[in-house]
Amino acid sequence: MSLQTLIPFLTHWADATRSDLIRYVIFSVGVWFTLWIVLATPLAGRKIRPDQPPPRQLLVEFLCSIRSIMIFSTVGLLSYSLFSAGWMPGPYLARELGPVWFWTSLVLMIIGHDAWFYWTHRLIHDRRLFRTFHRRHHRSNNPSPFTAYSFDLGEAAINALFVPLWMLIVPTQWPVVGLFVLHQIARNTLGHSGYELFPARKDGRPLLPWLTTVTHHDLHHAQAGYNYGLYFTWWDRWMGTENPTYLARFAEATRSKRRATSSLSQA
């Protein structure tokens, strides 16, 4: 393959890496600065764990995340190659289906990714695969927003494979993929933030029980045999892998906020 032939692929790889890195920095640094610095005092009652991870952990997570982003872009060349060769007509078909399908495909893509993540995540927790594919991520026992992309090479590749596989199967416009990636990095950085941000009912249960809360994923880092879901609690409930202490831990993380709300309502 000549250099002239490689240039479009190298350019696409560099552009994809730059875009993903910018998104990661904006969300990881933004969530860290907002929750850990600016709102640390008012949100103290929502802190899930009393301690903070050491600065060295944050630096290692950031560097490993850059490596993961490079893997994402490399796997992304598969989508680029197939689309450029005319073997991935889905984006053109999706455009003809109109705006209703645009938003429907986004919802379906998020649901599909949640299923992909649950089953691949559970797979790489197998003791025969864990050290090779998933150990890096769980070295962040006390996670931070920078943990979002702190993966081993194999795990980064598994996560990246979802998009080209989805694009081959389901007609989806490229702007939908962009919105999907924004949703993914937002949920990922918030899910590792260490502060319970999701609303609770008066009895302490999650107001939106089908969504994974910050406590839900934080418990996975603390006790790795439970809570494999990414966005939704469905698969963990259906497959019996939800941490039995989850609801109690969520109630504990939101107790001070509910007490404050109750006091204001009684005043």
pLDDT of 261 > 80? The answer is no
The confidence band for 8, taking pLDDT boundaries of 50, 70 and 90, is confident
Q: Report the 10 Å Cβ neighbour count for 11.
A: 10
Q: Report the 10 Å Cβ neighbour count for 182.
A: 12
pLDDT digits (tens, 9 = 90+) for 62-91: 999 999 999 999 999 999 999 999 999 999
pLDDT of 136 > 60? The answer is yes
Q: Based on the structure, what is the number of domains in the chain?
A: 1
**Alpha carbons within 13 A on the beta-carbon side of 263:** 6
Q: Quote the CA–CA distance of 111 and 238 in Å, as a whole number.
A: 15
Enter the pTM of the model.
Answer: 0.93
Helix ranges restricted to H, the chain: 3-31, 55-84, 90-96, 98-123, 127-133, 135-138, 153-169, 174-191, 214-222, 234-239, 246-266
Q: Quote the CA–CA distance of 141 and 134 in Å, as a whole number.
A: 12
pLDDT digits (tens, 9 = 90+) for 22-68: 999 999 999 999 999 999 999 999 999 999 999 999 999 999 999 99
The confidence band for 257, taking pLDDT boundaries of 50, 70 and 90, is low
Predicted pLDDT at 263: 37
Q: Read off the DSSP letter of residue 42.
A: T
Identify the domain containing residue 116 by its residue range.
3-266
pLDDT digits (tens, 9 = 90+) for 141-160: 999 999 999 999 999 999 99
Look up residue 234 and give its two tokens. 């469905």
pLDDT of 3 > 90? The answer is no
Higher pLDDT: 262 or 236? It is 236
Predicted pLDDT at 4: 74
The candidate with the shortest Cα–Cα distance to 63, out of 2, 142, 147, is 147
Higher pLDDT: 255 or 246? It is 246
The confidence band for 256, taking pLDDT boundaries of 50, 70 and 90, is low
Question: What Å distances lie between residue 59 and 53, 82, 146, 249, CA to CA?
Answer: 11, 36, 8, 29
